[in-house]
Every structure is written in C-alpha cells, then in structure tokens.
Amino acid sequence: MSIQAFRMQLKPGTIDEYRKRHDEIWPELAALLTESGIYDYSIFLDETTRSLFAVLKLRPDNSRDALRSNPIMQRWWDYMAPLMEVEPGNRPKEWPLVPMFHLS
C-alpha cells in the first residue's frame, strides 16, 4: 500500500457545482477507480483559496497510471474541465504534496 496526496485548483464560482458532481459520482467511475487499486480516497477544500487537497491509498498492484487512457476517465475529465485548472486533454492539474508527518 502507498499513499499519494496532491493539490488541484478550482476556478472561481465552481465550488458548489464541484461538490454536486462528486456527490453524484458516476457508478462506472467509482468502479473504475476501485478496480484500478485506488481506495480510501478523499478530497478536501480550502475555501479561501479554492485549492483541493486529495489523499488516496493505492494497492501494491494498482494501475492508476493507466487511468489516463481509459474512456470513462477521459469523459469525467471533460465533464470536470470547466470547473478546474487542467492540462491539455483536460486532466486536472496536480501538484504533488510532500509527506511531512504521519501518525498511525
């Protein structure tokens, strides 16, 4: 198991819509994430900066890197692109976060 954390950025005025779309996450996307070895995935919001902080756990045999070529993932990115800062191809921009402390 490994843990990954990263930051993403919402555009102004998109917080409510971002929350709504995640409250209604597509079942096929949730299944895809699970099948790819992602679990215990949380996204937190800093309302002051509109920064999103994501933390997820990965199984040792995960295929997270292959998600970028999956049509379901690409459709989700296209759906979310108007709300977020994105890379070419609409993948959300991610800024890795460096682990500084963990208490288990």
The answer to whether 86 and 11 are in contact (CB under 8 A) is no
Q: Of 19, 22, 68, 93, which is the active-site residue?
A: 22
pLDDT for 1: 83
102 is catalytic: no
CATH of the domain at 8: 3.30.70.100
Is 60 a member of any domain? yes
Instruction: Give the predicted TM-score (pTM) of the model.
Output: 0.92
Residues of the domain holding 33: 2-96
Is 103 a member of any domain? no
Average pLDDT, 10 consecutive residues per value, the chain (104 residues): 96 98 98 98 98 97 96 98 97 97 90
Name the residue with tokens 């890197």: 65
The strand ranges marked E within the chain are 2-9, 38-46, 51-58, 95-96
